Amino acid sequence: MASVNAQIKRGSAELAVLTLLAEQPLHGYEIAKQIEAQTGGVLRFDMASLYPMLHRWERKSWVNAEWQTLPNGRRRRCYRLTASGRKQIAPLRAQWRAFFQALESVTGFQNA
C-alpha cells in the first residue's frame, strides 16, 4: 500500500482522530492502533504526531481527558470528545469532501 505524504497525513489526522473519538473514548495508544488497523497501515500515528495534538485539543476543550485504571491495574489517559469537539467534525468533513471533489475534477483519480 502506498504511503501518504506527511503533509496530507497531518492535515487528515484531525478528522480521523475526531471521528474515532466520536464513537468511543480511547487512550492514545488505542487511537494510534485503531487508525492503523482501519486504514490498513496507510495512516500511522507516532507519539510525536498524536499526543501534542490531543493536548492542544484538551486546552481548546474539544476533548476531556481523564486517567482511568484498567482491569490490569495500569493507568491510561482516556480522551472523550466534548460537544465542542463534536461540532468540529462536520466542517472538517465538508472541507475534505470539497478538497477531494476538486482533486477528482482535475485528476479524475477515482476513474484511474
Partner 1 sequence: MPDWKQIIRKKLRMFRVCSPEFTEELAAHLEDSYEALLGEGWAAEVAFQHTIGQIEGRGRVWLVLRFLQEEFMTGLIREVALPGLLTSAAAGLFYWALAVDHISPQVMWLVGGQSPMWWWCLLPIWGALGALLSHRNGGSRLQRIAASLLPSWVMGISILLMFAVGFTLSGLGSHYWLVSARLESLGLVPPGFVVIPAACSLLGAGIAEVSTKKFRRLA
- Give the residues lining the site for partner 1 (CB under 8 A): 27-29, 32-33, 46-49, 51-53, 55-56, 59-61, 74-77
Of 27 and 82, which has the nearer Cβ to partner 1?
Answer: 27
Of 47 and 102, which has the nearer Cβ to partner 1?
Answer: 47
- Rounded to a whole number of angstroms, the minimum distance from the CB of residue 56 to partner 1 is 5
Buried b (16+ CB within 10 A) or exposed e, 72-105: eeeeeebbebbeebeebbeebeeeeeeeeeeeee
Of 51 and 96, which has the nearer Cβ to partner 1?
Answer: 51
Query: Would you say 15 and 88 are in contact if contact means Cβ atoms under 8 Å apart?
Result: no
- Rounded to a whole number of angstroms, the minimum distance from the CB of residue 20 to partner 1 is 16
Neighbours of 17 (CB within 10 A): 27
- Rounded to a whole number of angstroms, the minimum distance from the CB of residue 54 to partner 1 is 9
Place of cell 497525513: 9
